Chains A and B, each alone.
Chain A
């Protein structure tokens, strides 16, 4: 259509497009602080021209679409980085707790308690009174304190293990919830596909994917109709277009630490697969490592110290004789390294009477030879029994127990330090990626203000056209 009314139409369409542009700008400004929001941009195009005899007359402008500005590559990296960061951070937090359990700078440390027991043996050897009744009590009391120290540390580590298992179960629930939300968004986005990009829904889905990434390591594939497929490590499809599969926690009665601990099972609706060992990233991967690798190693370290303590003290103790003629163990004997710290206890005879403590090789009240031998264990280095060794020979390094304890503590410290560094590094990479995402997708108020000025001017220009056409029409009317 041409003519004056046609021009009015062009100006109207221009003002309309400008209004839509201001709406988009306003939407951007309103969402300046919305997490995961990607700035949107109005795409304009010239409207369908009007053919005339010698060419085409333009009919103005129209909004082709509103796009969101994203860097898809960075978005994918962010999902992966969330996984690595959450996994290392979960482990670093657990290690920080473990090192506090074994912190010798606090009271109640294992090596301090070991020293106390050796001191008590030495005091027994230098006792002034015949039969050393006071020193015998002190030996039993410091042995009991040492047992308490082991059991306190062991109990705290096992509690952390149970907490990690609880975390695994709740993380599985969160993963299932996120997966079903993503599948729902896939449905909605698919329905809107014909009408242009569903920007805000896609932003929300990207945000959920990042959150899912922080729970478990995933990879995503975009399909033709703007839907996204989510795969777990090992290729298991958690979200397949419109539908989500589920993860399940299944009790593993063979777990050596607690038969109520769970495996992670992938259920695709018809079949289930144990994917516990495939999961490496995200909070779930971190918690699994904490529960199944880090804490077991720490618990077995304690067990190793406890077992070798029992073995070395009992061997010497059984060579002597109690004041009452008892010959036997000092600690309750254990057949294996595993759980030695948890099961550490005094021998029943010692618990019943301190006269059963074999201070001498004879029942004579002044015989201190065995007490001296027990005290000398402090500086006796012997090959250590490691988990799995008994009843076979000891395969560990030859160390005194105190040396070995210091190695165990330093090792936990080193692991904690390394994991803290790793976590800080992953956090920094995450920060860089989030900044890169914002560089592309974040709302800049300066930019939006510039747009407003531009749009305001465009609106004024279009309004000007209307007023010119109006005057032309008045001129025409006045002729009549």
Chain B
């Protein structure tokens, strides 16, 4: 005896078939709507893991990019300040050479002294540069004015001294995995020639404020031989700050390089993310059409399930 096919079997199978097609269709519609093949972890557990990790990586890359753009102003500010200090020192050198000239009289030297006083003030301003309220050369004491003059210039009195009120920390910020940028320089080392923090000028370095103070005093006191001595010191000082300028310039280059590399990383990660989670729209749409057709076929087949039976032919 063959298999008995009852109407209950036909209806059950038809209903389950329609359900299956509808489930597939719902999934395809979800993919079409979200544009994603992974809409929940069970769609592809390993893929979901990859998506989560790629998102984290992308997030950290974006954070490094944000750090770089935030720090750019600070680094540029430092470089600018040191650049200006270089100009100040080269102007001071000109004045010193002028002042060393034996033919100059005391009154002219006095005029030069006044200009040196102005340079001293400019240098102080540069050394106390601020970005967003932060003193660039104060180390961690970023809200403390780092260079403080003991007072104004007073005629007939020795130049005021400048004391350092910051600290020698150089701020480091991560701008990549294992990559950090030094975004502030030790002001005492840059402007006062004290890299070891012992409150005294290191051998081979110079205190720029001291140089200007000594130059002003030598000019004001009409002592050309003292002025000559200062010229050599200015030379050392200029070298000293140009080294510092290179240091901060290198940071800028490093940041630019890192930014380019981060942009590449970000693009690579976005591509990977898209490969893993994005639906191929052409494929999804063609699936959608196929499955809709399948559903219609199942539905129309089901309407024919109410087949005639022998009962219809009984007279």
Give me the interface of A with B, judged by CB distance under 8 Å: 29, 32-33, 95-96, 99-100, 102-105, 111-112, 114-115, 118-119, 122-123, 125-131, 360, 362, 364-369, 372, 375-376, 378-379, 402-403, 405-407, 409-414, 416-417, 420, 431, 434-435, 438-440, 442-450, 452-453
Closest to A120 in B: B63
Closest to A418 in B: B42
* Known contacts A112-B55, A410-B46; A126 and B67 CB within 8 A of each other: yes
CB-contacts of B128-187 with A (<8 A): 131-135, 138-143, 167, 169, 171-174, 177, 180, 183-184
Going nearest first, the 10 A-B pairs with the smallest beta carbon separation are A413-B41, A366-B142, A442-B6, A364-B140, A449-B310, A413-B45, A130-B143, A128-B132, A416-B42, A410-B49
Residues of B within 8 A of A406 (CB): 48-49, 52-53, 56
* Known contacts A104-B48, A366-B171; A130 and B13 CB within 8 A of each other: no
Q: Mark each residue of chain B from 215 to 248: 1 if its CB lies under 8 Å from any CB of chain A, else 0.
A: 0000000000000000000000000000000000
B188 within 8 Å of A by Cβ? no
In the assembly, what is the distance between CA of A104 and CA of B311, in Å?
58
Q: Is the CB of B49 within 8 A of A442?
A: no
Which of A130, A372, A448 makes the CB contact (< 8 A) with B134?
A130
B3 within 8 Å of A by Cβ? yes
Residues of A within 8 A of B169 (CB): 364, 366-367
Q: Which of B68-76, B90-98, B104-112, B258-266 binds A?
A: B68-76
* Known contacts A403-B53, A442-B6; A128 and B63 CB within 8 A of each other: no
Can you show 11 pairs from A to B with CB atoms below 8 A apart?
A114-B56, A118-B63, A119-B60, A131-B143, A364-B169, A366-B142, A368-B172, A372-B174, A402-B52, A406-B52, A416-B41
Which of B4, B9, B52 makes the CB contact (< 8 A) with A409?
B52
* Chain A facing B: main interface SS: helix
Most buried by B among A96, A125, A126, A375: A126
In the assembly, what is the distance between CA of A407 and CA of B46, in Å?
9
Q: Is the CB of A439 within 8 A of B9?
A: yes
Which of A122, A365, A446 makes the CB contact (< 8 A) with B142?
A365
Q: Which of B32-40, B78-86, B118-126, B197-205 binds A?
A: B32-40
State how many angstroms separate the Cβ of B212 from the closest Cβ of chain A.
27
Q: Is the CB of B309 within 8 A of A449?
A: yes
Q: Is the CB of A413 within 8 A of B40?
A: yes
Q: Is the CB of A33 within 8 A of B8?
A: yes
Residues of B within 8 A of A411 (CB): 45
In the assembly, what is the distance between CA of A328 and CA of B92, in Å?
51
Number of B residues contacting the other chain (C-beta, 8 Å)?
65
Closest to A439 in B: B4
Residues of B within 8 A of A104 (CB): 41, 48, 51-52, 55
Which of A95, A103, A125, A442 makes the CB contact (< 8 A) with B174?
A125
Q: Is the CB of B48 within 8 A of A410?
A: yes
Q: Is the CB of B9 within 8 A of A99?
A: no
In the assembly, what is the distance between CA of A446 and CA of B311, in Å?
7
B268 within 8 Å of A by Cβ? no
Residues of A within 8 A of B34 (CB): 105
Q: Is the CB of B13 within 8 A of A444?
A: no
B12 within 8 Å of A by Cβ? yes
In the assembly, what is the distance between CA of A129 and CA of B174, in Å?
17
In the assembly, what is the distance between CA of A368 and CA of B170, in Å?
10
Beyond A32-B8, A453-B314, 11 additional pairs, beta carbon < 8 A: A104-B48, A115-B55, A125-B174, A126-B183, A131-B142, A366-B184, A369-B172, A406-B48, A410-B46, A417-B42, A438-B12
Closest to A111 in B: B52
Which of B60, B134, B143 makes the CB contact (< 8 A) with A128?
B134
In the assembly, what is the distance between CA of A126 and CA of B43, in Å?
39
In the assembly, what is the distance between CA of A126 and CA of B75, in Å?
12
Q: Is the CB of B5 within 8 A of A444?
A: yes
Q: Is the CB of A100 within 8 A of B310?
A: no
B59 within 8 Å of A by Cβ? yes
* Known contacts A446-B310, A449-B309; A439 and B6 CB within 8 A of each other: yes
* Known contacts A99-B41, A372-B180, A444-B6; A402 and B53 CB within 8 A of each other: yes
Residues of A within 8 A of B277 (CB): 105
Q: Is the CB of A367 within 8 A of B40?
A: no
State how many angstroms separate the Cβ of B185 from the closest Cβ of chain A.
13
